Amino acid sequence: MLSDKVKQFAPARLTADVSRLPEAERKALGKLIEASMRLDPIFDRQACAENPEIRERLLADSTPEGRDRLAYFDIMRGPWDRQDHHRPFAVDRPRPPGAGFYPEDLSADELHGWIGQRPGDRAAFESLFTLIRRAEGGLVAVPYSEAYAAWLGPSASLLEEAAALTENESLRRFLRSRAEAFRSDDYYASDKDWMDLDSQVEVTIGPYETYEDELLGLKASFESFVTVSDPEASGKLSRYKELLPEMERNLPIPDEVKTERGGESPIRVVDLVYSAGDARKSVQTIAFNLPNDERVRAEKGAKKVLLRNVIETKFELIMRPIAERILEPAQLEHLSAEAFFNETLFHELSHSLGPAFTGAEGARVEVRLALGSTYAALEEAKADVMGAYNILFMIRKGHFPESFREQLLVSYFAGLFRSTRFGVAEAHGKGAALQINRFLEERAARFDPGSRRFAVNTAELEAAITRLVRDLCLVQHRGDQQAARELLARYGEVSEPMRQALGGLAGIPIDLRPIYPLAGE
């Protein structure tokens, strides 16, 4: 029943202490929340071009079932169940793989054929920031700034109002350059300004992730995270960014596969006070690693942002109860909130490690483009397993105590089941399933059908982690879509042991349904 599905998302109040902020920064924070709200109508249309009309129809149904359908529609940000292979629940048609970015009847082959015959269209058609539409018997690329002007214009103005209020120069510079990017579709300069942002009030706002585009993995969705930072906590983690080059050198892959990137890579610990767009669909992000522009990464690295209040809430409401039901009782003593936090951190750090470009087809191509629709799930799996691999390296280097090893391995394995509950149609869930099934095959964990619990063999898991990091990086380095599809087909589904274990998690929330008091919610 839809009412049961709605209950799987636990209401959670997410806020921060803003009493220490100067009045000017509190006012700027309010403007940033307003600017972020303008992105929701954009993302709704990116997820499904007809979302506004569908929602209006659902609003008209005042029955209990109708109210549940509307509530679930709002959680899923559309009429398809993101937790169940995009199964339709508010329409009678399947989800188009291109979401709202392309004509629903457009195939990847047709698009590639069009570009092949018109190479001058390639840059616009493959841009992160264009929609593809049919016009006069052909195809056209429509810039986001044109397609979404009704919302981007007001959002840009609110960013500029916030810039006029703040006393922080780095925030002022970013807000002005990002407002200009909303009007020009050129995000390069403002991405670099965001990397330099160092403020008590911070915002990540713009078109970033390409998960919604399952046709080609090209088009970026709008989202926003409005946060209040903790400089002291951030400073304690800053030593890890200095170790990124050493982590790259330590990867279990040939030297020619390794990548040199910019070394700035700041780390921020923040509390989330508002999210919008792609950041507020079904499963709520606990951390992110941006920007995705490899030009900026080459120059300045990437910023890792840890949403502390979200991480802590998910550990207590979701992660701990899952582990208590799926792990052998003797291993529960190793479950660790600190390990969960650090696996989250090193997951984000690991997005900046490993192959960035491939020599596929004789040209230097971003791995993201070479792997197409297989990229997102493979990259999330890589970041997960490489995160664990790098923490093990940090233990050997003495940055964590040896006693942290079992906590990390047990907590990492248990945490994968939290992600699989997002559904294997979603990149993080499919990537987590790939890891679990690979580890089961390699006897790094065993499943007891009688108790429906797993026991981790920590020595075998450590070795299996190394092998999986190697294999995923080599697929990325080759830009091998066929190998990626085969890996995901073989391991990226819910296996029988997973099904039995997940079947015993009734009553544990799948994720959070955020409530933001500072936004008046």
Q: Among residues 147, 162, 185, which one ends one of the domains?
A: 147
Chain centre to alpha carbon of residue 317: 20
pLDDT tens, residue by residue, 98-108: 999 999 999 99
Q: Is residue 425 part of a domain?
A: yes
Name the token pair of 452.
């429906």
Q: Is the pLDDT of residue 262 over 80?
A: no
Residue 220 has pLDDT above 70, yes or no: yes
Residue 139 resides in a domain: yes
pLDDT score of 136: 86
Confidence grade of residue 292 (pLDDT, cut at 50, 70, 90): confident
Separation between Cα atoms, residue 150 and residue 145, nearest integer Å: 9
The DSSP code sequence of 235-274 is HHHTHHHHTHHHHHHHSSS-GGG-----S---EEEEEEEE
String of DSSP letters for 35-75: HHHTTHHHHHHHH-TTHHHHHHHHHT--SHHHHHHHHHHHH
Strand partners, 207: 222
How many domains, the chain?
Answer: 2
Structural domain harbouring 58:
4-8+43-147
pLDDT, tens digit (0-9, with 9 covering 90-100), for 424-476: 888 899 999 999 999 999 999 999 999 999 999 999 999 999 999 999 999 99
Query: Is 478 a domain residue?
Result: yes
Residue that wins the pLDDT comparison between 487 and 356: 487
Query: Is 445 in contact with 462 (CB distance < 8 Å)?
Result: no
Query: Are the CB atoms for 288 and 325 separated by under 8 Å?
Result: no
pLDDT at 360 (0 to 100): 61
* pLDDT for the residue 381: 98
Instruction: Give pLDDT, residue 361.
Output: 62
Does pLDDT of 259 surpass 90?
Answer: no
Structure tokens at 104: 């629903």
- The pLDDT value recorded for residue 85 is 84
Q: How far apart are CA 323 and CA 319, in angstroms?
A: 6
The domain boundary, picked from 147, 182, 206, lies at 147
> Does any domain span residue 168?
no
Q: What is the pLDDT of residues 144-175, one digit of tens each?
A: 999 999 999 999 999 999 999 999 999 999 99
User: Residues 19-45: pLDDT tens digits?
Assistant: 999 999 999 999 999 999 999 999 999
In a domain, 336, yes or no: yes
Whether the pTM exceeds 0.85: the reply is yes
Is it the case that residue 118 has pLDDT exceeding 70?
A: yes
Half-sphere exposure of 239 (CA within 13 A, CB side): 7
Q: Of 117, 147, 177, at which residue does a domain stop?
A: 147
Residue 159 lies in a domain: no
Residue 474 lies in a domain: yes
- Is residue 124 very low, low, confident or very high in pLDDT (cuts 50, 70, 90)? very high
Beta-carbon count within 10 A of 170 CB: 16
Is 68 inside a domain boundary? Answer: yes
Tell me the two tokens of residue 457: 């063999």
Q: What is the mean pLDDT of residues 42-61?
A: 98
For 140-170, give the DSSP string: EEEEHHHHTHHHHHHHHHHHHHHHHH---HH
